[in-house]
Amino acid sequence: MFVLTYSNIIQTNGWCPFCERVWLILRAKNIPYDEQLISLQNKPDWYKALVPTTLVPAVLFHEDEDEKNERRIVWESSDIIEALDEAFPERTMLRDTPEYNTAIQMNDDLTKVGFEFVYAGRNESLTDEDKLERKGKFILELDRLDAALVEQQEKADGGICFRLGEFTAVDAIMIPTLERWRYQLPLTADIDILQGREGLKQWFASMDSYEPYSGRVMGDEYSWVATNSMFLRYFGGGEDKPDVAAAIKRADDAAVRLSSSFIDQAKDKDDSKKHSMEAAAKLVANHDGIVKDCTRDDPQSQQHIERASSEDDADVMLRHVCKLLLSEKDTFKETNKSPLPEITTDGAAAARVVASRLCVPRDMSAPAASILRATLISVANRIEE
């Protein structure tokens, strides 16, 4: 068992950086695992009984070979990573070297000053000068990391290069927070962490091309932008403050802008059938939940997105989209050729809602979501023709 916080129901947007580290390492080490998703707002009793801290992630190791059937539960992401290296030593993720320890320390320093800067808005006692000072410290640490990455990349002489050359636990530990900052800070703090930082840019390019990350764990720009207003409501320091309200509006507007180009965004993405199949499988497994979600009249999140009204049309639309995704042929070409089922324009509205509600990596991988969103919008456009 491997526990992730993502809820299968489309209502919560769980990102747990600690789960993501473990998830990525499981994939990088190619360890077979089952995942169990739990709601953090309403943790199941079995989980509370099993994990003393009740925090996620936790991993249940079980060995069925030789009928030993040993079961061992490990929690705390750092202990889990260590236990995974012990149990599966073929491709270790931890390193006992000064370079590794320095990289971990540098990341600790960066996240400390980064969160002190990001959450400064919540602290009423801070002056503008204090906030500026926090920003300065953050920028300094980002530059320090960038310089270390450039140095590493120079040794590697171009091509794929992780924090210490090859992929290690330090990359898995770094990526969840850096990914969030990459997409959210341009909106919330007017900071593009990649701007002028070639080392960081190269590192992201290496991560983006690393399948254990990009094939499932990676979040995408739209999901971070679309959930930004939720983060701001929780952690921004109060919606009543004009700058927080303005940031929420900026985030929602940016999400709407991005959603208007889902088809274009999918054009240069990996559109292999594997990803269409993944999207189709998710639509089938969660069909009833998705129909309800895109037509509900009391939405709990993304309330600015107007929901569709007919469950029947949503149902017909989703079945059609699923058929397109499952077809042997190119999904987009099929979208334009295949006859549309009998459906009203409310089916188009439902398709647009589902595309805007899809959240990565909660619901599926980034490549699968990219194909699904583009297919939904193409179908919506055809219905409205």
| Residues of the shown chain interacting with ligand GSH in the complex, contacts defined by CB under 6 A | 5, 16, 18, 40, 54-57, 76-78
| Minimum distance from residue 58 beta carbon to ligand GSH (Å) | 8
C-alpha to C-alpha distance for 214 and 348, rounded to whole angstroms: 30
Considering the complex, state which of residue 78 and residue 381 has its C-beta at the smaller distance from ligand GSH. Answer: 78
| Minimum distance from residue 221 beta carbon to ligand GSH (Å) | 21
| Minimum distance from residue 252 beta carbon to ligand GSH (Å) | 24
DSSP 8-state assignment for residue 29: T
Query: 61 has which bridge partners?
Result: 72
| Minimum distance from residue 43 beta carbon to ligand GSH (Å) | 7
| Minimum distance from residue 82 beta carbon to ligand GSH (Å) | 12
Those residues with Cβ within 8 angstroms of residue 155's Cβ, 6 or more apart along the chain or in another chain: 165
Residue 67 gets the label, from left (phi > 0), alpha (psi -120 to 50) or beta, of left
Residues 138, 143, 149: CA angle, nearest 5 degrees: 130
Considering the complex, state which of residue 112 and residue 257 has its C-beta at the smaller distance from ligand GSH. Answer: 112
Residue that is written with structure tokens 């549309």 in the block = 340
Question: Six-digit token pair at 199?
Answer: 């080392």
Those residues with Cβ within 8 angstroms of residue 166's Cβ, 6 or more apart along the chain or in another chain: none
| Minimum distance from residue 119 beta carbon to ligand GSH (Å) | 15
Query: 71 has which bridge partners?
Result: 62
* Cα diameter, the chain: 65
C-alpha to C-alpha distance for 50 and 71, rounded to whole angstroms: 12
